[in-house]
Structure 1
Amino acid sequence: MRHYTVVGLPNRADVDLSLELRQRLTEHAVFSGGRRHYALVRHLLPAGHTWITIGGDMPALFAQYRAAPGPILVFASGDPLFYGIVRTIQAHDPGAHLAIYPSFSSVQRLCAHICQPYEQVKNTSVHGRDWQELDQALLHQEPLIAVLTDAVRGPAAIAERLLTYQFDHYEMVVGEDLDGPQQRVGCYALPQVAARDFHALNCVLLRQTTARPRHWGLDDSLFAGLPGRPGMMTKKAIRLLSLAQLQLAGKRVFWDIGFCTGSVAIEARCLFPHLHVVAFEKRPECEALIETNARRLSAPGLEVVMGDFFALDLAARPAPDAVFIGGHGNRLPELLTLLDAHLPAGAAIVLNAVLERSHAQFVAQVPALGWQLLPPERIQLDQHNPIWVLTAIKQ
């Protein structure tokens, strides 16, 4: 069993460790951390020590740790339990013994500078990761959102994303080089942030300036439609019934096959921010359409896949536990058979059938595949043709 001592450092050149930690230094010969950490603590380390620099290659780093002759003392920034190295150690060396000495996190320091109680702050990170956590917090309309940034997804990129997806009811507090020689804390409107540069060490707090009403269901009039075919979309009442049949609150990955305007994918993303939504379509003109609608209706984070669904490498996509079939190219039995090979047990499928042929094929194919066919729902809107909302559960 390897032993790690993890010490969180403040962002100060004059690092002053407690007597207990100074004693810990004398008990170690192997130390680790980033290059910036080494510059802060090198003068405190014992003569003849070994330093292992933490970079981006975690397997290589832990190979060095395994080869180390004794316990390892790891330096980290702030609180190593807060999106820090502790989680990485637990993932790569699950049997390790850990002793942790945290400092204040950058978010705690920023909140202290602006006298902001932080028990209600939603913490997110885009540091070395995608936008998913931040997108979920925005879709949940969290009033206070802290964001750990990196060189790519910094304050300007975050502001640009919020403005692109109409989250303009936030202001941004940026803490730069907190507790360091170039410390600066400022509050900005999003357009101001998008137009300026910031110190490389920074973190962000987004604060709502106004609260938006949250609607259960998007009005059809809000969607841009196909030119000359504005009515070609799954209508609100049918969308909501279809999503209810899929029971998305307990699902992880949702596929919308044949998204057209993107109304179903966007509705699912807005109502269930935790979902990984993958939208498929083969008509090239629909790609710009779903992007327009996603931005207009504040639905970031959709994964859009263009091309013939039957020709795609579906194994390269996250396996869905919920599927909406918005189009099947008159190949419904073949599509259901294809999905059967990729869906886990318990996955749900919904089809909106207008034609009797589609209804008959679904009702015949589902039992043949061994799935459970749920009682169908029939709905008619105004003068439109009645639609069967058909649901199946893979057994």
Structure 2
Amino acid sequence: MFTLPAMPNMEPVQVIGLAPGSLDITPFAKDALANADMVVGGKRLLASCPDSLLHTDAEKLPISGPLGPIFKKIEDTAFKKKKVVILADGDPLFFGIGKRLTEELGRENLIFEPSTSTMQVAASRLGLPWQKMDFVSLHGRTDFSPLYAALVRADLIAVFTDATNTPAEVARALLERGADCFSMTVLEDLGTPDEKIRPLALPETWGMEFSDLNLVILERQYPPEIQLTLGIPDHFYLHQKNLITKLPVRAAGLAHLNVEPSSTVWDLGAGCGSVSIEASHLARRGRVFAVERHKTRAAMIRENIRRTGAWLVETVFGVMPDCLLDLPEPDRVFIGGGLGGPSNEDTSLLKLACDRLKQRGRIVAHCILLDTLHTAKAHFQSIGWHFGVTQLQASATDSLAGDLRFKAQNPVFILWAEKP
């Protein structure tokens, strides 16, 4: 077994994975436990370790409450040249305690001995090759953005739940976004006599009780109606009265916005959601909020999300700027509408967006009216931001007299600014 050189004067800490469900203790684990001065683990794992395997002076330290004091005690014990064994479920480095241990103690001070992971057992029960599966942990999370991102890119997803983010909550989240193209299987108490595997329709989970030891497998049954890419044709989007950021302008605006994979994006005055939807293709590990005050247009955004499978986009129906107050701070802000209307009296919307934008973040505003352009330009000058303007006028072919002509689209000023 290869191990990194340990910190001087610190006894390497052994982290041992136990078989999922059964918590069988391997001969390697028995030898480690027999020599341990301290055994650390969750209450269920410690209960699986009989006192007969330990020497009489060994201390059992349950993992409960804040983890900081527990890690401190582990470190202090190891510096006294005493042997510490930490028990974990399955593979400690696969959505387990291993990541936190490496951050706190340093991987050079740890020796890992994994067991079969819960994921391996689940895949074997369902007969699923899992090398291309996506994995999402909702442990301790207050938002489901990693799940929505996985729904976009993967056909097979494993979801690790907790007491709050249960399988029923996972199903609710999918149904709220219209992601009913996924089937759900819940696997409970794997590796125990109470093992249960249940394929469930998403609405069927409402009000159901599940074992605390569960894993959810989501499998795509059919693809979205429209493939999520950059440059989706305008007529593919459901929109109202030609109120859509047209493809050439949309492409230029997204290029100026410079969306990164982990960006949080606000699309203000989202219309039919075309910018939000294509921004989500770029912000594949981030979050995207499409803000719209018209009920009909907000409904169109949700329908366009369903048709393209852009599950990462969250529709925010409300009046700006008040509806923005509870949103997370953005890395990128796109303003496609609202700068010249009543929602931006005295530039309140632009000021709020600038105040909330993270450092080194970007704002892009599409302006059609000169007054709007001058107002926005003056605001960026007054706060000392670096900014620029690109004027774009595109023409597209149109049928005329059995031939083609070029039909001009309205000129648009693309104003971008960067926060120092």
**TM-score bracket for the superposition, by shorter chain length:** 0.7 to 0.9
Task: Write out per-residue CA displacement over residues 257-309 of structure 1, whole angstroms, 9 at most, x where no aligned residue.
Answer: 3446655434433553322224557x596997588558755535638496653
Q: Which residue of 2 aligns with 1:325?
A: 335
Q: Which of 50, 57, 61 is 1:52 aligned to?
A: 61
The whole-number CA distance in structure 2 between the counterparts of 1:107 and 1:95 is: 23
Amino acid of the structure 2 residue aligned with 1:244: A
**Alignment counterpart, residue 359 of structure 1, candidates 362, 373, 380:** 373
Distance 1:96 1:123, change over 3 A: same
Cα distance, 1:114 vs structure 2: 2.5
Which residue of structure 1 lines up, in the alignment, with residue 361 of structure 2? 347
Correspondence 1:389 to 2:414? yes
Offset, 1:351: 0.9
Aligned partner of 1:166 among 158, 172, 178: 178
Query: Equivalent residue of 1:206, what SS?
Result: strand
* Closer/same/farther in 2, CA of residues 36 and 131 from structure 1, 3 Å limit: same
Q: What is the alpha-carbon root mean square deviation over aligned residues?
A: 3.7
Partner Cα distance (2:300, 2:251) in 1? 18
State the 1:204 CA deviation.
2.0
* 8 Å contact kept, 2:181–2:222: yes
Paired residue for 2:401? none
Instruction: Please say if residues 239 and 272 of structure 2, whose CA atoms lie closer than 8 Å, have aligned partners that are also in contact.
Output: yes
> Do structure 1's residue 108 and structure 2's residue 116 form an aligned pair?
no
1:206 Cα deviation after fit: 1.6
Task: Point out the more displaced range, 84-93 or 378-387.
Answer: 378-387
1:21 to 29, 33, 52: 29
> 1:378 aligns to what?
393
Is contact 1:345-1:394 (8 Å) kept? yes
Which residue of the partner structure matches residue 182 of structure 1? 194
Matched residue SS, 2:120: helix
- Is 2:18 the partner of 1:9? yes
Unpaired runs of 5+ residues, structure 2, are 1-6, 397-406
Q: 2:88 & 2:409 partners in 1: Cα distance? A: 62
Q: State the one-letter code of the partner of 2:264.
A: V
Mapped to 1, the partners of 2:155 and 2:256 lie a distance apart of 31
| CA shift digits 1:92-111 (9 cap, x unpaired) | 33476100010111111111
The 2-side partners of 1:150 and 1:345 are apart by 34
Contact 2:302 2:315 in 1 (8 A): no
Q: In structure 1, which of residues 72, 76, 80 is the aligned counterpart of residue 88 of structure 2?
A: 76
Farther off after superposition, 101-110 or 300-309: 300-309
Check whether the contact 1:165–1:294 (CA below 8 A) recurs between aligned residues.
no
**3-state SS of 2:254 partner:** helix
What is the one-letter code of the residue matched to 1:36?
R
TM-score (normalizing by structure 1): 0.81
Cα distance in 1 for partners of 2:128, 2:324 equals: 49
Aligned counterpart for 1:153 among listed residues 165, 177, 181: 165
Partner amino acid for 1:54? I
Any conservation in 2 of the 1:131–1:301 contact (CA below 8 Å)? no
User: By how many angstroms is 1:143 displaced?
Assistant: 1.4
- Mapping for residues 284-295 of structure 1, pairs under 5 Å: 292=302
SS in 2 for 1:376: strand
Instruction: Check 1:239–1:131 CA distance in 2 against 1; reply closer, same or farther (3 A cut).
Output: same
Alpha-carbon distance between aligned partners in 2 of 1:344 and 1:128, rounded to the nearest angstrom: 25
Q: 1:160 offset after TM fit, Å?
A: 2.7
**3-state SS in 2 of match to 1:99:** strand
Partners of 1:308 and 1:98 lie apart in 2 by 51
Whether the 8 Å contact between 1:260 and 1:286 is mirrored in structure 2 is no
CA distance in 2 between partners of 1:87 and 1:284 (Å): 45
In the superposition, relative to structure 1, how do residues 56 and 366 fare at CA in structure 2: closer, same or farther (>3 Å)? Answer: same
Aligned with 1:248: secondary structure? Answer: coil
Return the alpha-carbon distance in structure 1 between the equivalents of residues 236 and 313 of structure 2: 22
Structure 1 stretch 131-140 or stretch 182-191: which is displaced more? 182-191
- Determine if contact 1:79/1:102 at 8 Å carries over to the other structure: yes
Q: State the AA in 2 paired with 1:7.
A: I
Q: Compare 157-166 and 115-124 and name the one that shifted more.
A: 157-166
Could you tell me which amino acid in structure 2 is paired with residue 214 of structure 1?
Q
Q: CA deviation at 1:325?
A: 1.9
Q: Distance in 1 between matches of 2:84 and 2:187?
A: 32
Residue correspondences, number? 386
Rate the CA distance shift 1:165–1:393 in 2: closer, same or farther, 3 A. Answer: same
Q: Decide which moves more: 336-345 or 36-45.
A: 336-345
Q: In structure 1, list runs of 5 or more residues that go unmatched.
A: none
1:367 Cα shift?
A: 5.3
Q: Write the distance in 1 (CA, Å) between the matches of 2:76 and 2:315.
A: 41
Normalised by the length of structure 2, the TM-score is 0.76
Give distance in 2, aligned partners of 1:236 and 1:91: 45
Distance 2:25 2:325 in 1: 55
